[in-house]
Each structure stands twice: as structure tokens, then as C-alpha cells.
Amino acid sequence: MPILDLEEIKKEIKEEVLQWLYKEVKQPDKYLISIALGHAIRKTVERIRKACEFFLRYKDNPDLLMEKHPEYKKEIKKLKKVKLGCIINGRVYEEMIENPMFEKDYNEWLFRLAFKSIFKEKKE
């Protein structure tokens, strides 16, 4: 399902951790299982929450992102311009113009930045 469901994520983490523990430890202590599961779930939920907060804070606000994270200035400025080209009488004319789709392109880029590890896994 394409919707982020924390309960489903918790269930999957529990299955993965239990599978790993029983494979590696054979008969793990129930207390160890409880601690491992709780830690894995908390860390995962926290990372998802931070990615969502990052995206929502800077969505539709590239100036704030550049102010707070100047390391992204160059990439954002690239999104602001697009190359427009045409051929007239066999000659190529190109010009950089303001990107009319900048807001959409910026928000899509920001989303991919905030959730890059998810998209990275999908490619592999």
C-alpha cells in the first residue's frame, strides 16, 4: 500500500528483528527481543518523522531552505532556470529563462531529498 502506515512498519520491523535474532542467537532472551524491537521501532519512526518535518518546513519555501541550509543553494538555483532552445534556418539558439514550473520542480526535488534513502533502495 502506498500510504505510510506506522503500524505496518512496526509489524515489519518486528518480523525482521525476530527473524534475525532467531537466526543469529538461536534462542534469544525475551527481554533482549523486547529491547531490540523497541529500539528499532523508535529509531525508524523518529527518522520518518524528521524527514516529514524537514519536507513540510521547507515545502514551497526555497528561500528558507537556502538560508538554513546554504549547501543546497547551488542545486536550488539550477532549478530556477531552464534552457530554451530553437533552430532557425539551421542555427541553434539557446537561452536560459526563468523556470515556469519552478515551484513544482522545487517541491519534487525537496521530497526526493528528504526521502532519498527510500528512492535509493528502490533503484538497487
Domain ranges (residues) in the chain:
1-58, 61-124
| Residue at grid coordinates 527510500 | 118
Q: What is the pTM of this model?
A: 0.71
DSSP-based three-state secondary structure for 55? helix
Question: In the structure grid, which three cell numbers stand for residue 88, read together?
Answer: 532557425
What is the rounded average pLDDT of the residues 13-41? 80
DSSP code per residue over 63-93: HHHHHH-GGGHHHHHHHHEEEEEEEETTEEE
Looking at the predicted structure, is the pLDDT value of residue 60 above 70? yes
What is the rounded average pLDDT of the residues 68-94? 91
